[in-house]
Amino acid sequence: MIMVTGFRTGIGMSIAAQAKAAFAPVEAETRVIFLLDYDSFFARCMQQAYPPLRGKPVGIRGPAKGTAIIAASTEAKARGVKVGMHINEALRCCPDLEAVRADMDMYGEICTKSLRVLTGHTDKVEPFSIDEAYLDMTELAARFGDPAMLAQQLKRDLRAVLGRNITCSIGIGPNKMIAKLVSSFNKPDGITHISPDEVPGLLTSIRLSDICGIGSRVERRLNRLGIYTVERLGQFPRETLVREFGVLGNVYWLWGQGVDLAPVTPYHRQAQEKSVGHGLTLPEAVPDRRGFDGILQRLCERCGRRLRRLGLLGRTVHLWARYDGYETHDGFGGRRTLGPDISRELWQAVASFIPGPQLPQPVRQVQLTVSDLKRNVLQLSLVEDRVQQRAVQQAMDKVNDRFGDFTVMPATVLLDTFPLRNGPPGHGLCKRYVVDEEGSGLRGY
């Protein structure tokens, strides 16, 4: 049992909640947390789907024109193939490498099936990336005893649904930090269980950077304070850490003692919106295609940004553009199913709904909606060409969140010169809305 008197905090709580919780006493951690991590996920999925690839070194290339290896099978890794290598370099160290393109749709499907199995065991499942998930198994463990046996049962159930070639490793501990840490101890297809009593011993054998959340930059800052070991981190004066890192100082201090109070947040609580959308009523009708394209691109930017901020993926895009005139209900639009979470993909989909190179009539109202939302579990995965795109998008989102919409935007949007109002571009009459859970209507905000 770990006794900590003092304060409690955890990543996953809001800053205010952390500050409030910081001084409540913590008695002990009695949870049973699993971190389930699929082994060489992308490559194993391919080996499961295509039997000739089984037992062979497989390198996964990016989904589009990828020239880099984004994942490798155990066999390929054993031959020196590393993630991030150029395909030619990988072929040099492993000439019989089977280089196959990533199939994101297939990974998404497998991920959904896996989540269905996991939520059959506990409703407290939090996907951490496409191939990792935290599970709070406290209640089941209290009823059925040995957590390692529960893990074995979970593996059997997953194998029955996904196939025997897709294996996973499970780390079990009293909290997320320990579960994540030990999940890599017995790879592939292993189970590692650390009981609360074993935590202090474990902490003496690991490095600071072994803790998920302590990257090289944080480690350097800790080193500057004279902290080189996890034990030292836990014994260090809390106040100094808080001065250096703010509320995260609390979190690091607790990690140093093997304590992590962050809850497992069920994924179904993370996606509540049914759809996100943006609508515009223009102060004057837009007569030409160029002006209309510019407006539509801005709406795509806004929708995409909102989806990314919420960590959601939409499968259906719906566009409706109404022609000018009080009486008219005419216009054009369409609905398409895909998985756009990046504004450019959204734009490509909706552009196909525009009837021709010229607008048949001037447009007065535009409505763009993305629905069929689900949690974007791909968000944390490393998929070559999306990584760069996503990094650019995230940087743009940060600037726009801070300084206002369209402070930074793609050059294609700048091509548009149609004034939405007397003011900076992008400040039209815009309304955001969500459809509530029952779908009973629009809730503007």
CA distance 246 to 381: 29
CB closer to Mg ion out of 82 and 335? 82
Chain positions 355 to 414 lying near Mg ion, rule: CB under 5 A, are none
- Using the rule CB under 5 A, is 60 a contact of Mg ion? no
> DSSP E strands: which ranges in 330-428?
331-337, 363-375
Label the pairing between strands 132-136 and 275-286: unpaired
Judged by CB under 5 A, which stretch of 37-45, 76-84, 91-99, 172-180 contacts Mg ion? 37-45
When binding is defined by CB under 5 A, the residue of 98, 131, 260, 293 that contacts Mg ion is 131
Least separation, in Å, of the C-beta of 327 and Mg ion? 59
Closest C-alpha among 268, 252, 249, 272 to residue 260: 252
Judged by CB under 5 A, which stretch of 32-40, 180-188, 217-225, 408-416 contacts Mg ion? 32-40
Least separation, in Å, of the C-beta of 166 and Mg ion? 11
> Count residues contacting Mg ion (CB under 5 A)?
3
Least separation, in Å, of the C-beta of 72 and Mg ion? 12
**Amino acid, res. 379:** Q
- Using the rule CB under 5 A, is 133 a contact of Mg ion? no
The answer to whether the CB of 48 falls within 8 A of the CB of 166 is yes
CB closer to Mg ion out of 43 and 214? 43
Least separation, in Å, of the C-beta of 38 and Mg ion? 5
CB closer to Mg ion out of 165 and 297? 165
- Using the rule CB under 5 A, is 126 a contact of Mg ion? no
Judged by CB under 5 A, which stretch of 72-80, 130-138, 243-251, 276-284 contacts Mg ion? 130-138
**Amino acid, res. 294:** G
CB closer to Mg ion out of 41 and 255? 41
CB closer to Mg ion out of 29 and 132? 132
CA distance 418 to 402: 25
CB closer to Mg ion out of 131 and 260? 131
Least separation, in Å, of the C-beta of 119 and Mg ion? 20
> Does the annotation count 132 as an active-site position?
yes
Closest C-alpha among 410, 429, 426 to residue 295: 426
Judged by CB under 5 A, which stretch of 128-136, 178-186, 371-379, 381-389 contacts Mg ion? 128-136
DSSP string, 342-361: SHHHHHHHHHTTS-SSS-SS
| Residue that has been written with the tokens 């592939």 in this structure | 188
CB closer to Mg ion out of 9 and 114? 114
Which two tokens mark 140?
Answer: 């089941």
Least separation, in Å, of the C-beta of 71 and Mg ion? 9
* Helix (H) / strand (E) containing 149: helix 147-162
- Residue 172: strand, helix, or coil: strand
| Residue that has been written with the tokens 């450019």 in this structure | 344
Task: Estimate the crossing angle of helix 289-310 against helix 384-403, to 10 degrees.
Answer: 100
Q: What count of other Cβ atoms lies within 10 Å of the Cβ of residue 325?
A: 12
- Using the rule CB under 5 A, is 73 a contact of Mg ion? no
CA dist 169 to 8, 132, 164, 267, 293, Å?
30, 10, 13, 21, 49
Least separation, in Å, of the C-beta of 191 and Mg ion? 15
Residue 164 CA from chain centroid, whole number: 26
CB closer to Mg ion out of 81 and 359? 81
When binding is defined by CB under 5 A, the residue of 37, 75, 260, 397 that contacts Mg ion is 37
Judged by CB under 5 A, which stretch of 127-135, 272-280, 392-400, 409-417 contacts Mg ion? 127-135
117: left (phi over 0), alpha (psi -120 to 50) or beta: alpha
Which two tokens mark 94?
Answer: 């492993």
Least separation, in Å, of the C-beta of 70 and Mg ion? 13
The single residue of 132, 273, 301, 384 carrying the catalytic annotation is: 132
| Residue that has been written with the tokens 């949870």 in this structure | 31
- Output the residue with the shortest Cβ distance to Mg ion: 131
Judged by CB under 5 A, which stretch of 9-17, 30-38, 137-145, 376-384 contacts Mg ion? 30-38
CA dist 7 to 19, 152, 197, Å?
9, 36, 21
- Using the rule CB under 5 A, is 75 a contact of Mg ion? no
CA distance 192 to 180: 10
Residues making contact with Mg ion (CB under 5 A): 37-38, 131
Give the catalytic positions in this structure: 132
